Amino acid sequence: MGARFTRTIPTLALCAAVTASSLAFSIAPSGAEEAMRTHRTVFDVRFGAIPIGEAKFEIRFDQESYKLGASGKTVGVAEMVAKGSGEAKSQGRIEDGQLVAEKHTVKYVEKSKVSTLEMEFDEGAVKEVKLNPDKRKKKNGSKWVQITEEQLRAVLDPASSIIIPVEWEKANNPRAVCDRTLPVYDGDTRFNIKLSYKSTKPIKTKGYKGYAYVCQLRYVPVAGHKKGERNIEYMSRNKDMELWLAPMAKTNLYTPIRIEVPTWIGTFSAQPSYFGVVAQ
């Protein structure tokens, strides 16, 4: 459940060109001695119109490094059916417009069961994974797609994947923001998040009023999953998922402000109740 939780937060809670003059982002480069800033996003997670969860992210960052904390819990009907809560932490560097993950931890509690994950990276490659309970040994059969050492290099943990750095000169270019593939490892499975630009839409919530770049989100399984699994195959064919991205603190770093995940049983969404800078 720990790996599943880290995958869910960035995905749910979980990644035509428009000129800069048409946007309300007002992005401008900062000086070399920019202080660390803290951005907060609070999501209401819903199934259709029904509230089922709350998720909060706090990202402390400058142009060279980041630290991320995330927490989530079930609410309403979901709490009665399957009460759960979790928290995740990630940290890493920002080098040459790319994230380099360093450390990732997760704790998930469902009723009386506790699941944990500790993951360390060395220059973006997975160095050590501690997963409890660890069910990876049960995935050695021919029914499973095996993970190779090569597939664990230059990867991100799920929480880090919600931070999207863009070159300053392209920070108002929607295709430069959206069009990318994020290689992700959650301690259990290896998958890619493929984003592509769809549209630009206005959005307003507490802390932010402006525009968001709407990216099509595609889930691409790579390894660690069971061959022919129905849910995996369905999600890999799902072309209707959306990740809405907006800039943090008027910088060239983007993060999700809204997420839409239609499924065969209904639509899961993460809608913002707050998106903005936290006073230091």
Phi, then psi, of 155 in degrees rounded to 5: -120, 165
pLDDT of residue 91: 97
229-240 residue pLDDT tens: 999 999 999 999
CATH topology of domain 2-18+39-275: YmcC-like fold (2.40.360)
Give residue 4's pLDDT band: very low, low, confident or very high (50, 70, 90).
very low
CB neighbourhood size of 228 (10 A): 8
Q: pLDDT digit string (tens) for 39-93?
A: 999 999 999 999 989 999 999 999 899 999 999 988 887 766 678 899 999 999 9
> How much is the average pLDDT of 261-276?
94
Non-local CB neighbours of 149 within 8 Å, separated by 6+ positions: none
Write out pLDDT tens, residues 78-132: 766 678 899 999 999 999 889 999 999 999 998 889 999 999 999 999 999 999 9
CA torsion, points 47, 8, 15, 95, in degrees to nearest 10? 150
